[in-house]
């Protein structure tokens, strides 16, 4: 997370209109590497640098929650060598950023089918989440082995069991109840979803949570995504009128 510090005043952003929760689909690592005749792993390594930059930017600007789509349920279908390399990068990232997370008062959380992660990665993840759990300035939330449909299926099963056991009346199942059974129950829905790499799709990410989220798609590949681009997107967000279906 080493980048030059800056103040919110330098950005020209309105502190009163910042998104509370920003979610990012970090796409384009492979294409970034291909353009440079490098192997895909080099793209993922470069992408890790972009993660550090944007986490630091969010902390300095005052974004309370940042969710990064780091590894999807579908990503398990990639070549075993690439998956193994991604797990190594994840483990290294978690280890190297522990001090920065503590120094910057950032809490780490994770959502997804975490039980599918390799045991060594899970140990480091659990340790990092435990050591940062009291941090309160910002929450960095990693979507790991995550899929929106799988999350919804899990929620339906959990509620169905409680209905079967008589602990929930079916009439009590409302749009307000459902979020309590999602991975993200401890955080607000995203205000802004950014997708890098130019693809115009959601890719099974936070399907329930983004019902009224503002979406911004940029052609910039994730390894090239920096602080200046992020600030420009936040400025665009602040010009939007969020009506939530109202006039």
How is residue 39 written in tokens?
């192997």
Backbone phi, then psi, for 89, in 5-degree steps? Answer: -60, -40
DSSP tag of 74: G
β-pair partners for 178: none
- Give the CA radius of gyration of the chain: 18
The owner of tokens 């109202």 is 246
223 close to 43: Cβ distance less than 8 angstroms: yes
The residues with which 193 forms a beta bridge, in sequence order, are 23, 215
Looking at the annotation, which residues are catalytic?
27, 75
What contacts 71, CB < 8 A, 6 or more positions away?
Answer: 86, 90, 112, 143, 144, 145, 146
DSSP for residue 203: -
Strand partners, 66: 22, 140
Per DSSP, 67 falls in state E
Distance CA 195, CA 62 (A): 20
Please check whether residue 209 is in contact with residue 69, taking contact to mean a CB–CB distance below 8 angstroms: no
* φ, ψ of residue 138 in degrees (nearest 5): -160, 155
110/129 Cα distance (integer angstroms): 8
């Amino acid at each position: 997370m080493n980048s030059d510090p800056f103040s919110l005043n330098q950005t020209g952003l309105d502190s009163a209109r910042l998104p509370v929760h920003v979610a990012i689909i970090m796409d384009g690592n492979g294409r970034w590497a291909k353009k440079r005749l490098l192997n895909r792993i080099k793209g993922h390594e470069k992408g890790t640098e972009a993660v550090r930059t944007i986490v630091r930017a969010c902390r300095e600007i005052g974004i309370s929650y940042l969710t990064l789509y780091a590894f999807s349920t579908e990503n398990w279908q990639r070549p075993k060598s690439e998956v193994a390399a991604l797990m190594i990068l994840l483990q290294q990232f978690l280890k190297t950023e522990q001090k920065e997370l503590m120094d910057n008062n950032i809490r780490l959380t994770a959502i997804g089918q975490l039980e599918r992660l390799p045991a060594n990665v899970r140990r480091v993840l659990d340790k990092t989440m435990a050591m940062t759990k009291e941090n309160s300035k910002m929450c960095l939330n990693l979507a790991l082995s995550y899929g929106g449909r799988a999350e919804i299926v899990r929620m339906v099963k959990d509620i169905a069991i409680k209905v079967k056991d008589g602990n929930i009346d079916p009439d009590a199942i409302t749009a307000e109840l459902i979020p309590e059974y999602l991975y993200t129950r401890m955080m607000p829905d995203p205000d802004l979803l950014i997708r890098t790499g130019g693809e115009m799709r959601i890719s099974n990410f936070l399907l329930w949570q983004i019902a009224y989220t503002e979406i911004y798609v940029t052609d910039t590949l994730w390894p090239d995504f920096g602080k200046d681009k992020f600030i420009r997107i936040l400025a665009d967000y602040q010009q939007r009128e969020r009506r939530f279906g109202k006039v």
